[in-house]
Amino acid sequence: MKKFLIVSGLAALFLACGGGEEKKSESAASTPAGAEPAASAPASGGDASKGIGKFTKVDVSPTLDVKMAESGQTVFDVKCAACHKLTDERLVGPGWKGVTTRRTPEWIMNFATNVDEMLAKDADAQAQLEICLVRMPNQNLTDDDARHVLEFMRKNDGVK
Ligand code: HEC
């Protein structure tokens, strides 16, 4: 709970990240502290679309796992909603609408559990950081939390 309060506080501070504006502003001139030039290949030697981290193969079913999605919604409410909307509107971070079509399941789960390394090395993660100018803090998700949030994102994207 304490973490939620801290996160909510952060969100209030960072509302400047384009909240309400639909268009992505590409005009952000400065490179955020800590951002490195885009790495061309993921450290794990795998496929860049999977991001960087331990998830190299995530099985998703064509249909929704309702239970998992419900549990993922709880994780969202507590740990993510302060910064992410479910629409395509940016809050502190990008809106989640369409995220499961923009990104692979592996990328999403690696990002959610290994955010610092992803922001340091993954070109797609860095591109978001350049727009948002706020580093997503590590949310300390368990692997199950991450999988459940992914299922909730799929539900948000219309998987039935
Ligand atoms: C303090 C604000 C904050 C919180 C809380 C937060 N995020 Fe983020 N998130 C961001 C920002 C900002 C970005 C864009 C990348 C960056 O700048 O670090 C982002 C990007 C993402 C992306 C990539 C989206 C895309 O379109 O590429 C995913 C996936 C994501 N977050 C998942 C989560 C999950 C899951 C949680 C909750 C467990 C969460 N985030 C909590 C701020 C936050």
Q: What is d(CA 49, CA 110) in angstroms, rounded to the nearest whole number?
A: 11
In a 13 Å sphere around the CA of 106, the CA atoms on its Cβ side amount to 17
Tens-place pLDDT, residues 68-88: 999 999 999 999 999 999 999
pTM, 2 dp? 0.80
Is pLDDT at 3 greater than 80 in this prediction? no
Tens-place pLDDT, residues 145-154: 999 999 999 9
| pLDDT confidence tier of residue 9, bands split at 50, 70 and 90 | very low
Other beta carbons within 10 Å of 26:
9
Smallest CA separation from ligand 1 atom 17, residue: 129
Query: Is 139 close to ligand 1, i.e. is its CB under 6 Å away?
Result: yes
Domains of the chain: 43-156 (1.10.760.10)
Tens-place pLDDT, residues 100-128: 999 999 999 999 999 999 999 999 999 99
Gap from CA of 126 to ligand 1 centroid (Å):
12
Smallest CA separation from ligand 1 atom 15, residue: 129
